[in-house]
Amino acid sequence: MKVIILGGCGGMGRYAAKTISSFNQIQLFTIADLHQNDAEEFAKELGTHVNGIGLDINDKENLYETLKDFDVVLNTVGPFFKYGYEVLKTSLDANCHYMDICDDWEPTEKMLELDHLAKEKGLLAILGLGASPGITNLLGAIAINELDQAETIYTGWGMDEAKPEEISSQKDTNAAMIHAIEQISGKVKIFKDNKFQMIKPLEELEINYPKAGNFKASIFGHPEAITFPKHYKNLQASMNLVHGDRQIMTILRLLNKLIGLRLLSKKNAARFLDWLERKTTSNNSQKQNGLPEIYALAIGSKK
């Protein structure tokens, strides 16, 4: 099996690459990154069956020619609202199985429309293999299956734990921060009252977490909100929530307002958030408000 990881020297890519390099089923593992020197140096750390190459995914023709030599593509290049759809389409055109850590709802909708193409080619494409989405989806499925009928599903995570990785080849603004700003500005899609709706993000909700009590969390744009209703037809509501200390949530709401008033660009907001995250000492979100750092909560009936 031949596997290539795109963005393999980024913060998320490095974790995935280190794990994948230990899989015995893989005869050739290639780390592709915008910065060739970083890819080559990182590959040397992982073993003789690993090699590094420079690759710009914006060059669609070169990307296609490169992927034709592989069986599986793992895409960790963000933000996915910019790159997700085209990389998936190119991977399928090159007859590659595909996996990613897409955490934007907009491209997720569009990427799911390629289901027919993957099936026609006999290929497997899995979106959102991260923490959220990813682990949250598995937790949500477990919670829903515990009920006779689920009406509401919340997936959630703590902002205090969402820290940029210290080692990354990314030279510009952190992609995770660009993603975050995109998902707290404008409007995001959720499922509420048995229908999809576009609403302003960061709306505060109060949820009752079993054996812990009532807590406040805020709506954040994410794929889980739109994908759960596609598989669980009895759901009346599906939302992704974020929680954090009062200071960081106040800052997010301020950034949201400044962007809405066109007093601050999304790019500069992402740069500020990146700087802030690196300067802020990590707090334990579980101690802050009692919610786990990542969770799914299903509400419904049983017996």
Residues 119 and 159 in one domain: no
| 160 has a pLDDT exceeding 80 | no
Residue type for position 235: L
Q: Is beta strand 72-75 parallel, antiparallel or unpaired with respect to 2-6?
A: parallel
Residues 240 and 174 in one domain: yes
Residue 286's pLDDT band (cuts 50, 70, 90): very low
| 285 has a pLDDT exceeding 50 | no
Cα–Cα dist 74/205, whole Å: 35
Please tell me the number of Cα atoms within 13 Å of 172 on its side-chain side: 9
| 149 has a pLDDT exceeding 60 | yes
For a pLDDT cut of 90, what percent of the chain falls above it? 81
> Does some domain include residue 273?
yes
Angle between helix 175-183 and 266-279 (nearest 10): 120
pLDDT tens digits, 19-68: 999 998 999 999 999 999 999 999 999 988 999 999 999 999 999 999 99
Residues 294 and 167 in one domain: yes
**Whose CA is closest to 10, among 100, 98, 94, 85?**
100
The stretch 76-97 carries a mean pLDDT of 96
- Do 102 and 223 meet the contact criterion of CB atoms below 8 Å apart? yes
Residues 164 and 289 in one domain: yes
pLDDT tens digits, 102-146: 999 999 999 999 999 999 999 999 999 999 999 999 999 999 999
Residues 15 and 86 in one domain: yes
Residues 279 and 182 in one domain: yes
Q: Is beta strand 97-100 parallel, antiparallel or unpaired with respect to 195-199?
A: unpaired
Q: Provide the pLDDT for residue 161.
A: 63
> Does some domain include residue 131?
no
> Does some domain include residue 297?
yes
Residues 122 and 233 in one domain: no
Predicted structure pTM score: 0.89
CATH number at residue 170: 3.30.360
Going by the DSSP 8-state scheme, the letter that residue 67 receives in this structure is H
Question: What is the count of structural domains for the chain?
Answer: 2
CATH number at residue 69: 3.40.50.720
Cα–Cα dist 210/119, whole Å: 40
Cα–Cα dist 126/187, whole Å: 26
The H or E element containing residue 107 is helix 105-112
Query: Could you tell me which residue, 197 or 288, shows the higher pLDDT?
Result: 197
Residues 87 and 152 in one domain: no
Angle between helix 80-93 and 60-67 (nearest 10): 50
How high does pLDDT run on average in the chain? 91
| 165 has a pLDDT exceeding 90 | no
Residues 111 and 172 in one domain: no
Residues 7 and 121 in one domain: yes
Residues 118 and 165 in one domain: no
Domain holding 27, by residue range, is 2-126
> Does some domain include residue 142?
no
> Does some domain include residue 91?
yes
- Do 99 and 4 meet the contact criterion of CB atoms below 8 Å apart? no
Residue 83 CB contacts under 8 Å (≥ 6 apart), including other chains: 57, 75, 77
Residues 154 and 204 in one domain: yes
> Does some domain include residue 134?
no
**Whose CA is closest to 101, among 80, 125, 122?**
80
Q: Give the bridge partners for 242, in sequence order.
A: 157, 218
